[in-house]
A = this chain, B = another copy of it.
Amino acid sequence: MGVTIKDIAKAAEVSYSTVSKALRDSPLVKEPTKQKIIKIAHQLGYQPNVAARSLVSKKSQTIGVVWPTIERVTHSALVTGLNKQLEELSYTTLISINEMEDAINTFNRYQVDAIVAFNEKNSREPAKSTVPIVTYGIAHEDSPFPTVDVNRKQAIQTAVDHLARTGHRSISYIGDMVQEDHLQEEKVEGFRQAIKDYDLELNSTSIIKVNDLASYDGYEAMKELLKKTDHPSAVISGSHDLSKGILRAIQEAGRSIPEDISIISYDNIPATEDLELPLSTVGVPLSTITEKLSEILIALINEETVEQSIYLKPELNITQSCKAWNGGETNE
């Protein structure tokens, strides 16, 4: 077994309650004593026993993340960001990839202070949990828990709005999923509605289906689209990966951005890779999401009331990948 505060007490020749105080940096211990104790604790490689501590304090300084769909890369950046954010708030993050209900039970047994659930489907019965829960990305409908989500519909609408206002009349959206995917459908829905609002044409090449959201799918879709004589003057892409493929296809076809075609990508990941050209994006920055999530978590832990449903507003970020459209004629 590991080192306990009693071992430290013996070594430091003080009572173990003094050790406890010193280690918690209590002002009730004289500075030299404190230093001595801390030093000894360090030498002995002391690690406080969470079990014992949370047993009495009822707090574990731990947040449980329920993430059954690790295979979905989409959330890994988010989880990474959240982990980091919570670390700064001196919380430890623990992840379970079990199903919602199992995971929640586990975290309850572990007495985590709060739970974030990334779940695709709404759980039928609101799992009974002593620990407060916030969900992310779940249909806002009638989740039994407070929910944080990105307004994907609005994101795409914002993109269409920008393009329409800058003269584009023919816009395509690449990213409708062949398989059912609630999150993607929301984007498509936003596109459809915005096109309608602006009274633009909606034809067979306006919404392009893809098998997956990977780079190749974007490439394939765009290649196909460029074969048409009357290809759109602007494209909105459903994900960063798709966009990479789209750029490749455009480049390969010898067309140029933004002269021949403007592009806006849905994306909440900060542009890590530098693509050849900085992509215009629309979406909620990852940091905004993790900040909001942490905020809710902390509020929940402090038993404050929180909004039942938070819908994050996307930001539009226009770069050189977009240009006003003047009917295809050169401007000079």
**Interface residues in chain A, defined as those with a beta carbon under 8 Å from any beta carbon in chain B:** 1-2, 45, 47-52, 54-55, 58, 60, 70-71, 73, 76-77, 79-80, 83, 87, 92-98, 105-106, 108-111, 128, 130, 214-216, 219, 245, 248
Contact = CB atoms under 8 A, between A and B. Distances in A.
Residue among A77, A95, A108 with the highest chain B CB neighbour number at 10 A:
A95
Indicate how many identical chains form the complex: 2
A110 B203 CA distance: 58
B76 A1 contact: no
B216 A108 contact: no
B93 A96 contact: yes
Contact of A71 (B80, B106, B216): B80
A95 B94 contact: yes
A51 B110 contact: yes
Contacts of A215: 214-216
Contacts of A98: 83, 87, 93
A286 B248 CA distance: 34
Contact of A214 (B52, B92, B214): B214
Nearest to A52: B55
List the 9 shortest-distance A-B pairs measured between CB atoms, nearest first. Answer: A95-B95, A51-B51, A51-B55, A2-B130, A50-B109, A216-B216, A70-B76, A47-B108, A51-B54
A221 B233 CA distance: 31
A219 B249 CA distance: 13
A268 to B, nearest CB: 15
A15 B9 CA distance: 36
